[in-house]
Amino acid sequence: MTPRSLPRFPDGFLWGVSTSAHQIEGAVAEDGRGRSAWDDFTAVPGRIKDGATAAVACDHYHRYREDVGLLRELGVDAYRFSVAWPRVLPDGSVLNEAGLDFYDRLVDELCAAGVRPVPTLFHWDTPAAVEAAGGWLARDTAQRFADYAAVVAERLGDRVRQWITINEPAELTLLGYGVGQHAPGKQLVFDALPAAHHQLLGHGLAVRALRAAGAESVGIANSHGPTWAASEAPADLEAAELYDVLLNRLFADPVLTGRYPDDDLAALLPGPVAEDLKVIAEPLDFYGVNYYQPTMVGAPGPDGVEFSGVTLPPGLPFAPREIEGYPRTDFGWPVVPEALGELLRGFRERYGDALPPLVITENGCSYGGVDDAERIAYHDGHLRALHAAMAEGADVRGYFVWSLLDNFEWAEGYTQRFGLVHVDYDTLARTPKASYRWLRKALAEELR
């Protein structure tokens, strides 16, 4: 049977791939880079599967030219990478010129290859010194982050036109400060909420700093997915609504509408919240959506819940449930392309004219092997769902695959492979997978 052709997307639609600094760079003790909260977290035995660290990772720091060559050969328009805050400001405040020089070289290499650089300023690697001073639980961190944004923009802004401030503040809040599965490893449950507010405040302050430096296009990358109630029972519906507020609306509403979704929730947040919201809601040129899966939620039982590799503490007012009837990735995540369309329709209905153009800043899956037919099927399905949503009116301007390379997958170490390119972690050899070749052909012949 001849495979169906992929749909053609509008002229100017941005095609890219994404990575993050801590997951691929390595070179953690070179060029004056400071320690990050993740370096400290991985140093604690038992935190990471197989005791892995990101000390070498994919060694992108030394092999970035080879990786940019892979981008050029793939035929993408853009590369979304993150800047490591502790490489640029090792103690959170004093500039390390050698660290910033690396991103200067990377941006030059991308521009020479005809690939748009799209830096994300923060992808979870808080400088250890900043974390020791309170991290994102401390209000001062928001201003320190904005100062860092200004430093990076001053150096790279002559070649970078599109910026992302913060990646997935929900995950850092929940997994890092709430349940301790990620750095910094705190288990504060609802006392983690200040970390959410301060990240959003840092985002707004960074938007202002980037605008002052002449940035043309600024956005944020938030993780989102539809929340499905486990049943129509009132307790399940109530639990699903609360989960949706905490994982979706808590991070979208303030940015897009200048309000928190619930007054009682807003009352739990620190500082002059009403004034902060004016900063948080600085107008954006695009809103980034990282989509992987929907979540089914019901009323909690008496015990803690194991879900997607995370042990949730007892006493939470909701409990995620497994979604049956769909293929699963190696991570155990259900593959539900149509839920991406559901998410985009929901955003349009909820936010209306307050919604700027969207960019899918991450979408991907974990599968092993170089002949990764499952990854091809995953992206084929999600691109068709995206195109259908756009035909219904969703204003989406770009799609970034997660990820270019297999990499350090946080608490999972090197056990989960999301890359279009296979990395041999012993030799660091790069081998393009079948999905890489499929996407290269699709970009050359069908999608554009």
The C-alpha atoms of residue 55 and residue 361 are separated, in whole angstroms, by 26
What's the whole-number average pLDDT of the chain? Answer: 96
Domain count, the chain: 1
The C-alpha atoms of residue 189 and residue 317 are separated, in whole angstroms, by 11
pLDDT digits (tens, 9 = 90+) for 156-196: 999 999 999 999 999 999 999 999 999 999 999 999 999 99
Could you tell me if residue 127 is inside a domain? yes
Share of residues in the chain with pLDDT > 90 (%): 95
The C-alpha atoms of residue 267 and residue 300 are separated, in whole angstroms, by 25
Q: Which of 25, 109, 131, 168 is catalytic?
A: 168
Q: Which residues contact 168 (CB under 8 A, 6 or more apart)?
A: 123, 124, 221, 222, 223, 290
123 is in an annotated binding site: yes
Question: CA separation (Å) from 374 to 140, 413, 414?
Answer: 45, 22, 19
Could you tell me if residue 154 is inside a domain? yes
Could you tell me if residue 440 is inside a domain? yes
**Environment class of residue 371 by beta-carbon count within 10 Å: exposed (0-12), middle (13-18) or buried (19+)?**
exposed
290 is in an annotated binding site: no
> Cα 92–93–98 angle (5° rounding)?
85
Cβ–Cβ < 8 Å for 420, 75: no
The C-alpha atoms of residue 368 and residue 389 are separated, in whole angstroms, by 30
Q: Which residues contact 314 (CB under 8 A, 6 or more apart)?
A: 300, 302, 303, 304
Phi, psi of 202 (to 5 degrees): -60, -40
Active site residue 362: yes
Q: What is the pLDDT confidence band of residue 1, given thresholds at 50, 70 and 90? A: very low
Q: For residue 362, what is the domain's CATH number?
A: 3.20.20.80
Could you tell me if residue 4 is inside a domain? no
What is the DSSP annotation of 265-326? HHTTS-S-HHHHHHHHT---S-EEEE----EEEE---SS-EEETTEEEPTT-S-EEEPPPSS
Q: Which residues contact 234 (CB under 8 A, 6 or more apart)?
A: none
pLDDT digits (tens, 9 = 90+) for 12-27: 999 999 999 999 999 9
Exposure pattern of 26-39 as b/e (b: 16+ CB <10 Å)? bbbeeeebbbbbbb
Q: Which H or E element spans position 374? A: helix 373-391
Q: What is the pLDDT confidence band of residue 313, given thresholds at 50, 70 and 90? A: confident
Could you tell me if residue 79 is inside a domain? yes
- pLDDT for position 304: 58
Residues 384-395: what's their mean pLDDT?
A: 98
Active site residue 232: no
Q: What is the pLDDT confidence band of residue 309, given thresholds at 50, 70 and 90? A: low
Comparing 45-59, 111-125, 288-302, the range with the smallest average pLDDT is: 288-302
- pLDDT for position 301: 75
Residues 351-370: what's their mean pLDDT?
A: 98
pLDDT digits (tens, 9 = 90+) for 50-88: 999 999 999 999 999 999 999 999 999 999 999 999 999
Q: What is the pLDDT confidence band of residue 431, given thresholds at 50, 70 and 90? A: very high
Q: State the amino acid at position 323 in one-letter form.
A: I
- pLDDT for position 37: 98
Residues 36-49: what's their mean pLDDT?
A: 97
pLDDT digits (tens, 9 = 90+) for 251-298: 999 999 999 999 999 999 999 999 999 999 999 999 999 999 999 999
Cβ–Cβ < 8 Å for 153, 98: no
Q: What is the pLDDT confidence band of residue 314, given thresholds at 50, 70 and 90? A: confident
Could you tell me if residue 260 is inside a domain? no
> SS3 of 99, please?
helix
402 is in an annotated binding site: yes
- pLDDT for position 3: 62
> Cα 224–229–235 angle (5° rounding)?
125
> Cα 199–58–15 angle (5° rounding)?
65
Could you tell me if residue 316 is inside a domain? yes
Q: Is the pLDDT of residue 206 over 80?
A: yes
- Residues forming a β-bridge with 422: 431
List the domain range (segments joined by +) for residue 232.
14-251+285-445
- Residues forming a β-bridge with 319: 298
How far apart are the two ends of the chain, measured CA to CA in Å?
A: 24
Question: CA separation (Å) from 67 to 281, 289, 405, 431, 432?
Answer: 36, 25, 9, 11, 11
Q: Which of 25, 131, 362, 374 is catalytic?
A: 362
The answer to whether the pTM exceeds 0.95 is: yes
Could you tell me if residue 142 is inside a domain? yes
